[in-house]
Amino acid sequence: MVRAPDTVLIIDDDLPVRTALKELFETEGYAVALAANGRAALNHLHKGLRPSVILLDLMMPVMDGWDFRNAQLADPDFKDIPVVILTAAGFSAETVRAQFGDVPFVPKPPPHTGLLDTIKRLCR
């Protein structure tokens, strides 16, 4: 029996970042869904997308990462989807964890090997 690929939902307002990460994950065998902001990501989730992991930027227009995460945690259908914080905003891992809990934190630009290892660990 062939197992369906794990899906990574990438939420980032920077198109080149989304594109590069999409190519990286697809090369590694993951399915990828993209959203330019938290509102678009919530729309994907409400339409039935259930990613294995969410890669979440913090600083975005329309709905930022903090508001998305609060909405995600408030919804019983989405709250258990693991999140990896990805940001270039200069936040420390301690600051992010103080607000988001014990979630993986990856600064931009992400080291590919470390990011892939984190995604693999969360997916399987």
What are the residue boundaries of the structural domains of the chain, listed by start?
Answer: 7-123
Reported CATH class of domain 7-123: alpha beta
pLDDT at 3 over 60: no
Rounded CA gap, 66 and 58, in Å?
Answer: 6
> pLDDT digits over 86-106, tens only?
877 667 667 777 777 778 777
> Does the pLDDT at position 2 exceed 60?
no
pLDDT higher than 90, residue 8: yes
